[in-house]
């Protein structure tokens, strides 16, 4: 088991999240659970896409993330609005928060950067950190979703990996609040279908007045999970009454769902 999760949510990638990722259907979906069960913990809160709107509305939510850069930018954004949340840097498999919670939720963070043993350990930590009767809400992008490289599960397609980079100069640029321009590019490097795991790389660049002033490269490992494996893992961690929603809507998942969301209860 490797000890440090490997994600790309640092430096310019963190900056990109803070600047450009502020919306999405996940925000109202998870909010319902937070409203019904406080205090709540946003695990892998990133730069606060969900956390900050909840805090703005007076909900009692803490946040944690493995990336100190994401947490620093989340704190900066919160402070600009006069908010002072409890935020801490921790990998989810070693979660050790300052209090226990009625709700723990994970949006877009499970299976990133870790190995399977760590992921199973994270579920056990969530169970430990919930109050009796508390709820875990955890989403998972299905491995066959349109956002994932399903074709690389096949041997012929995998043989073409890694794909070559396009020049970063040709990537779409977006202007940040500081006037600089930013671009991100990612590529899949390898996929192991037996272990249900892929490695990606991301390149990030920043331009000022048209001049390239910063370039970075980061690596991300992703563990792919199917619904039934997650159900078994949740059961092994002690959760009961698990519901499976599709695509961040309070409705049962179907074969067309890109995401599943597992809503699991710690026994009272």
Ligand X SMILES: C[S@@+](CC[C@H](N)C(=O)[O-])C[C@H]1O[C@@H](n2cnc3c(N)ncnc32)[C@H](O)[C@@H]1O
Give the residues lining the site for ligand X (CB under 6 A).
5, 7, 9, 21, 26, 44-46, 49-50, 65-67, 70, 91-92, 107-109, 112-114
Is residue 125 within 8 Å of 138, Cβ to Cβ?
no
Phi/psi for 242 (5° steps) reads -80, 125
Q: Of 93 and 266, which has the nearer Cβ to ligand X? A: 93
How far apart are CB 239 and ligand X at their closest, in Å? 19
The three-class DSSP label of residue 120 is helix
The three-class DSSP label of residue 129 is helix
Q: Of 11 and 108, which has the nearer Cβ to ligand X? A: 108
Strand 249-252: give its sheet, edge to edge.
Answer: 87-89, 61-65, 40-43, 101-106, 130-141, 259-265, 240-246, 249-252
How far apart are CB 154 and ligand X at their closest, in Å? 26
How far apart are CB 70 and ligand X at their closest, in Å? 4
Phi/psi for 93 (5° steps) reads -75, -10
Q: Of 48 and 134, which has the nearer Cβ to ligand X? A: 48
How far apart are CB 47 and ligand X at their closest, in Å? 7
Q: Of 61 and 241, which has the nearer Cβ to ligand X? A: 61
Q: Of 87 and 191, which has the nearer Cβ to ligand X? A: 87
The dihedral over CA atoms of 71, 74, 76, 80, expressed in degrees to the nearest 10, equals -160
- Helices (runs of H) and strands (runs of E) counted in the chain: 7, 12
How far apart are CB 41 and ligand X at their closest, in Å? 11
Per DSSP, 112 falls in state B
Q: Which residue's Cβ has the minimum distance to ligand X?
A: 46
How far apart are CB 95 and ligand X at their closest, in Å? 8
How far apart are CB 240 and ligand X at their closest, in Å? 24
Mapping DSSP onto H, E and C, the string for 48-90 reads CCCHHHHHHCCCCEEEEECCHHHHHHHHHHHHHCCCCCCEEEC
Q: Of 108 and 149, which has the nearer Cβ to ligand X? A: 108
Is residue 110 within 8 Å of 122, Cβ to Cβ?
yes
Residues 6+ apart with CB under 8 A from 140: 110, 111, 225, 227, 230, 259, 260, 261, 262
The β-bridge partners of 65 are: 89
Q: Of 46 and 134, which has the nearer Cβ to ligand X? A: 46
How far apart are CB 59 and ligand X at their closest, in Å? 15
Per DSSP, 4 falls in state S
Q: Of 54 and 152, which has the nearer Cβ to ligand X? A: 54
């Amino acid at each position: 088991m490797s000890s440090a999760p490997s994600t790309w949510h640092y430096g310019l990638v963190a900056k990109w999240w803070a600047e450009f990722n502020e919306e999405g259907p996940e925000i109202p979906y998870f909010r319902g659970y937070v409203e019904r069960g406080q205090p709540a913990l946003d695990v892998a809160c990133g730069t606060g896409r969900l956390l900050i709107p909840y805090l703005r509305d007076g909900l009692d939510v803490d946040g944690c993330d493995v990336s100190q850069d994401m947490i620093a930018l989340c704190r900066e954004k919160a402070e600009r609005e006069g908010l002072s949340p409890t935020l801490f840097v921790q990998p989810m498999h070693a979660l050790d928060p300052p209090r226990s919670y009625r709700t723990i939720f994970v949006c877009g963070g499970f299976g990133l950067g870790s190995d399977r043993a760590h992921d199973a350990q994270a579920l056990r930590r969530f169970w430990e950190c919930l109050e009796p009767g508390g709820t875990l809400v955890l989403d998972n992008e299905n491995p066959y979703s349109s956002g994932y490289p399903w074709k690389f599960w096949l041997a012929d397609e995998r043989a073409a990996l890694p794909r070559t980079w396009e020049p970063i100069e040709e990537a779409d640029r977006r202007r940040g609040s500081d006037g600089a321009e930013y671009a991100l590019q990612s590529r899949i490097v390898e996929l192991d279908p037996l272990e249900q795991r892929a490695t990606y790389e991301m390149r990030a660049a920043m331009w000022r007045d048209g001049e390239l002033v910063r370039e970075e490269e980061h690596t991300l490992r992703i563990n792919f999970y199917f619904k039934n494996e997650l159900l078994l893992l949740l059961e092994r961690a002690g959760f009961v009454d698990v519901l499976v929603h599709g695509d961040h809507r309070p409705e049962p998942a179907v074969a067309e769902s890109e995401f599943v969301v597992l809503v699991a209860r710690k026994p009272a």
